[in-house]
Structure 1
Amino acid sequence: MKNRKLLTIASLLVIIGIIIFFVGFANADFNIKNISTIKYEEKSYSTNTNIEKINIGDYDMSVDITPSPDDKIHIKYYENKKRKYIISEKNGVLDIQKEKPSIINIFSMSIDFNNTKLSVKIPKNYNGELIVKTSNNSISISDINLGDVSLTTSNGKIHSTNISCSSSLELKSSNASIDVENVKVSGDIICDTSNGKTNLTNVSSLEDIRCETSNGTIYVVDTKCNYINAKSSNGTISLDNFSTNSSIEIRTSNSKVLFNNISFNDKFKITTSNGKIKGNLNGKIDEYTINYKTSNGDSNLPNDYVGGNKQIDFRTSNSDIDVDFTK
């Protein structure tokens, strides 16, 4: 009887809570933003000074980098009493920094459903350095020609599309994915995340590509570079229509490695455990020198095979190796 009364009281409290929420939502015109206790003021900043470096530091805010409609840099941002930006220019450097919150503001109770972001529009042929750091949100960049680029966030996606870099491209995140699409880079490309997948599609680098993640997949499609090193744990690594001037090095665990239409000149090395190795390589088998090792699995490759200068070194355990050649 006592348990039944407690259950009845709990049910009534839930119903009352739902009614209160519905009334409050109705008073907010059924717009989730109107429930927010945080109010922002939209602000803007523009400059046509000769800027060679843009340095952005933010937190708890997404950052969106897109082309400018003219030869100026345009910034749109949102402030309130607790969150302010400091924007300055000096010696060709544009610095955009959000002030760190006070201890009181960190522990203050607030509700924020506003879809605010830091928007920076850069001339399409900027060709300068860009550094972006934020946290707990995403970074997006598209349709710009740049120099050296570094994008870093945590708990947020990084999406880069239709850009070119005359130097290097470095992308770092955690607990989220990294997507790179239609990108040309003269220097190295570095993608580093955890608990998230990495996707490279139609990407070219004159130097090296290095991808590392944990508990996530790595997919590389229609891509070429000088050398690639891809590492994951508990995630599949897949290369499709990929070419490199020198070598390919793949390492994962507890998952498979797949490849299709692959070209390389020096060495193709795969190391995995508890996952199969399967794919096809361009050319004839006699173009390759082959060594492999597997335990508790089968292989259709000849071992200790001496052919051409291209070296194959495949290692796995508790699974099979299945490789075909196009000729």
Structure 2
Amino acid sequence: MKKLIMILACLILSAAGLAGCANNAQSFTEESFAADANEIKGIVLDVRERLIEIAPSEDDQVHIEYYSSSKEYYDLSVSQDNILTMRAVQNKSWTDYIGVKAPAQNRKIFLRVPDGLLASLTVSTTKENILIEALSVSENLSLYTNGGNITFERLNAGNGIELQAKNGDISGCVAGSYEDYSISCSFKKGKSNLPEYKESGVKTLKVENNNGDINIQFTGE
């Protein structure tokens, strides 16, 4: 009898959980942010479970397009040092994490920035990819993902580039020749075409990957 009661209780709790999931479906709204490039020196994008696509803007403005809901939204702010920061904010109860995930079309962020006008760009996400077209910054460029790929066309940073991934691949081209960079590369459970360490070079290239491959080419220009 006790065993039967326990089974019935589990079934009731499971049904309640499923009903809660059905009631927790989120409604997302498309939103956008824009600012003149002379108002933004650098960008920090720190989010979770979002695919990030980055490309040069067609004007001298920074553009961000994204989706938000009452339970998943973003805090955007510009510091006195003209650093634009976009951080993920969640307002969820425990039932919101059971079997419910935002639709794929709502888990994307589109960032457009003026080529060569930013000093720095730092992007971090989880369980998704970072895709970036040819882009230049005057100082530092950093990309991080846990559970996705980092794919880029042609990256150029005046001081250094840092790329870090876990459970995904890192691939693309960086501007300049192999001799332009001092290189630090570490990887586990994958392959890499970069040396673990290389001295000299006026710029730095730091690459880390756990459970994925590294394939970075140099444009020679």
**TM-score in terms of structure 1 length:** 0.50
Q: Distance in 1 between matches of 2:104 and 2:212?
A: 35
Q: What residue in structure 2 maps to residue 96 of structure 1? A: 86
Q: What residue in structure 1 maps to residue 31 of structure 2? A: 43
- 3-state SS in 1 of match to 2:188: coil
Q: Distance in 1 between matches of 2:180 and 2:40?
A: 26
Q: What residue in structure 2 maps to residue 151 of structure 1? A: 143
Letter in 2 for 1:212: S
1:211–1:229 CA contact under 8 A, matched in 2: yes
User: Share of identical aligned residues, percent?
Assistant: 22
Q: What residue in structure 1 maps to residue 114 of structure 2? A: 123
How big is the alpha-carbon RMSD for the aligned residues of Structure 1 and Structure 2?
A: 3.5
Cα 1:237/1:61, change in 2 over 3 Å: closer
1:126–1:144 CA contact under 8 A, matched in 2: no
- What do residues 198-228 of structure 1 show as CA deviations (whole Å, max 9, x unaligned)? xxxxx646231222211111125xxx98479
Pairs within 5 Å for 1:10-159: 37-48=25-36, 49-91=38-80, 92-104=82-94, 106-115=96-105, 116-146=107-137, 147-159=139-151
1:215–1:234 CA contact under 8 A, matched in 2: yes
Cα 1:65/1:105, change in 2 over 3 Å: farther
Cα 1:45/1:163, change in 2 over 3 Å: same
- 3-state SS in 2 of match to 1:73: strand
Pairs within 5 Å for 1:296-311: none
Any stretches of 5+ residues in structure 1 without a counterpart? 1-36, 186-202, 244-327
Q: Distance in 2 between matches of 1:168 and 1:208?
A: 9
Cα 1:88/1:213, change in 2 over 3 Å: same
Cα 1:73/1:231, change in 2 over 3 Å: closer
More helix by share: 2
How many residue pairs end up in the alignment? 186
Q: Distance in 1 between matches of 2:171 and 2:215?
A: 15
Cα 1:153/1:184, change in 2 over 3 Å: same
Q: Distance in 1 between matches of 2:91 and 2:85?
A: 18
1:157–1:177 CA contact under 8 A, matched in 2: yes
- What do residues 232-262 of structure 1 show as CA deviations (whole Å, max 9, x unaligned)? 9999999999x9xxxxxxxxxxxxxxxxxxx
Superposition deviation, residue 112 in structure 1: 3.9
Q: What residue in structure 2 maps to residue 249 of structure 1? A: none
Structure 1 consecutive aligned stretches of length 4 or more whose deviation exceeds 3 Å? 100-103, 224-241
**TM-score in terms of structure 2 length:** 0.71
Structure ID, larger Rg:
1
Cα 1:108/1:101, change in 2 over 3 Å: farther
Cα 1:53/1:63, change in 2 over 3 Å: same
**Comparing both chains, which one has the higher relative contact order based on Cα–Cα distances under 8 Å and sequence gaps of 6 or more?**
2
Cα 1:238/1:71, change in 2 over 3 Å: closer
Superposition deviation, residue 143 in structure 1: 1.7
